[in-house]
Structure 1
Amino acid sequence: MNLLAYSGIILCILQTNKGFEISREKRAKGFESDKYLEKFGYLDEAKGGRQHDETSRKYAISEFQEFAGIRVTGQMNEETLARMLAPRCGLPDVIRPGDRIPPNARETNRNKPSNFYAPGFKWDKNEVTYKFVGFSRQLPQSSQRRAIRNAFSKWSAVTPLQFRESSGAADILINWVFGDHGDGSPFDRRGGTLAHAFFPGTSAISGDTHFDEAEEWTEGKNAGTNLEIVAAHEFGHAIGLSHSNVRGALMQPFYGGYDPNYQLQSDDIRGVQTLYGSAPRPQPRPQPTRAPPATTPRDRDSGNNPDKEICELKFDDIANGPDNRLYAFRFGRLYKFNYDGVGIEKVYKNSRRVFPKAPKNIAAAAFDRRNNKFYIFKGYKLWRYSQFTLDAGYPKRLQGWYRNVDAAIVEDSGEILLLKGKEVSVWREDFASPPRGYPVAIGVKWPGLRDDLEAAVRYRRISYFFKGANYFRYNDYNRKVDYRKSKAGPWLGCGRPEPK
């Protein structure tokens, strides 16, 4: 049986940086960018000697540049090549274009997880056990146990998860192996693959984590490969996380080497808390009862909690901005979110201070990262911005179906989708009418999702839809709504912090 197809492997193949600079020029000479883009999900595999067309290649390069956090040009350049040659994890970053579910596709097999990106897999319990099937011969067993405990502790510190070593049956089996070790994902020699892990699940190999014994495993020094940091990254996969495109996150695909002060970043924490929730708060010790101090209305209102206007804010639409920040529009005002996407950093009483000549009450907004263009829709008109400058000749008139839309969302593929009433359609500036197959019902594109939505955004590779005080998180893999929640806490930072 091919375990890759069966168990939803998170095949995280990390390439070491030892000797990287020496071999970089040699690798660059034989480097094929199309093969790289195919391997990591940006292009479909070209079969039968076929070549990719320039449009597909441009979109793929743009998507990689966006994910890698470098300037988006759609063209191969020195910066892009350097990033492609950098040490990284072998798990594909995105779903291949051909595997992205089209709006009229039949229901996918939910019992066959993707072998590259399957958000939503998690352990159905809070105590997860692990067992050492073998050890590396390069470090004392006590050092290895310490590294593994420390790696797990990064995740248990921010979730209800507790990890316990077991001498019997266990959820996660840990081993150091050479070459072909029977799971369909052979290791190579030193300087190539470092480790891989499997998603949570019910198969015999679910959660298992393997390290390549051909590598030089070290503890507390720059030389070789730091075991604890690699293990912490791998265990992120083993508890259900995919890769992050946030620079500095532990779950980003590019291996950064030894850092004695490494920590989970906010994106790692929010990702894992989306699956498991936050760590329980320690119970305070009982204190003697004291009379509460007298307060005035001024005292009660002087805290850091957002005011009522923010906590009850509805969105005309919400979109990623040219500066990688979230922006929400409402009645001519513009709300700039904090860097982590929770809470409002700044309120602009007139959105035109940021987007010159924008309409007072927008209908929809979308940022096309491939071309670095920000679009605002209202009625029969379209506004286009480069960064925050209105392009010459805009606003322009929209055609046919694309008039009077309600919301917009940009998919990972770069496609802009416009929502209108009960329907949704792909949109491009050169479209006078929806292409073949569109528009389709919102319930066909996103089964289980209601229509008459007010706003939508694709944020950190998850789709969110808004209606009034609530939002809906959509699970693209299972093609269902995960849940409906109030947006006050997860988005506007009101009340007790909670994940999106």
Structure 2
Amino acid sequence: MEPRKYVLLISIVIGCSVATAKTIFVEEDVPSIEEISFMKKYGYLPEKQDDNMDFAYTPHSIAEALKKMQSFAGLSPTGHLDAETRKLFKRRRCGVKDIETKSAAHRRRRYILQQGWGKKAITYRVLNGSSTLERARVETLMAAGLAVWAPHGGLQFEQLDHGKADIQVSFASKDHGDGFPFDGPGHVVAHAFPPPHGAMHFDDDELWGDNPDEEDENITDFFAVAVHEIGHALGMSHSNVKASVMYPYYQVPVEKLHEDDILGMQELYLKEDVHEALLESTEQSVASRSSLAPRPTLADDDNKSNEDNDDDEDDDNDVPDLCYTNYDTVQVIQDKLFVFEEEWVWVLTDRKQIMEGYPKRFHDVFIGLPKHITVIRTIYEKQNGHIVVFSGRSFWEFSARFRLVRRGRLSEYKIPPQVSELTTVFLSNYNNKTYLIEYERFWRFDDATSSMDKGYPKEMSAWRQIPYPVDAAVIWKGDTFFFRGPRFWRFDNTAVRAHHYYPLPTAQIWFPCRATPDMARYVTNDEP
């Protein structure tokens, strides 16, 4: 048992002629009734059992509950009510329980799951706004919050203006009919229910805003709270990882999911897809470990011969299937994702959103590119907005309007003459340097000074946990991604290694493609 602290108090009672002193020992750091209620509410102390009127919490049980609470919040588990622990009772937070009874004894994962929706198309509806945030702004921020989660579960969200939606968003105060009344300004700011309920409730007594850098500490950032509550509405429980979106205490800013959140989403939504796809497949070869996706076929009709069909002018038969092809490269240009395969290019405005009119032949996009260039394997956007296409020792530079500006030689990038071609080029947002990759080595070029940085080339093994040669490297919404075959990796520039929860299948995450039997082997890192 943890030792208890005591304070010596001396009470002096003065009578007419006698002064009597009494010594009283009062236990220090004893939780208040409100603090006991807090630990019961969030799963750290058990509820009163069997209507036992003599039921009481022992000093040992309270100390153990404090340890759990401290550990979950990322504090040192002392079991004592120190100053940092007392702050937890007053911090703004989510009203959902931290520890569920069924999972409290054995917590194998940091993230805890409830259940998913069992589908990928999910509807939502914003019922009202708050007293400080109008409904239209709430709808905009909700759409942005859902977009944070969507790609990690292959989900699609549709907003409804009328009728019952899967996820219903509303603001309410105090007792609002769900059995979990709000408590006024501060403390509990919101709560949400897992599928199939899916309701998200925000306390209307809070001062809601949409600026995480707001100097007024009384204002609660709606986007940060909404991203957290969306996790609950998708089936996620609280995480004891402080950097996680599903950490129960309010923190800003929220920009993207943590590894812990993504692992939970994969468990809820992606692994089930893989399992179902494997069950449906009767032709999957267990022995096959090839890292190459299957090549596209031109027709399904076995009775039709395609060998002498040279006069077929139907472009649809010539376009590769984006979901079943080994694309030549991908690159982010003007904040859009360009995907190149054979003589074709697709342009996506966001993951799974192909621009109208695409795919097109890339010669129809890059005006002035020589006709003898039949494949684009290396392309990037410079700091000045120009786009450069490489082929062999030459390159062609285009304006931001995709018109040819000039032709140049690889020597302008200070690449040695023995290098016959580059395989990938990208401009890093981490240091604004241009990385030029040739199979197993790379150079770093300073475009501002037109000079090569000292100490290069370096081996590709410097990009830890990234297989090579890579087919592409891109900067997408602030993150660095590497692509090879049907897989992709997200790179951690701070740790200088790929994130642990990668690779993931490119087609199912980036393109509007259904899960396939091949997807199961694309979530393992069996590359050299």
TM-score interval (norm. to shorter): 0.3 to 0.5
Normalising by structure 1, what TM-score? 0.47
TM-score, normalised relative to structure 2: 0.45
Q: Greater Rg, structure 1 or structure 2?
A: 2
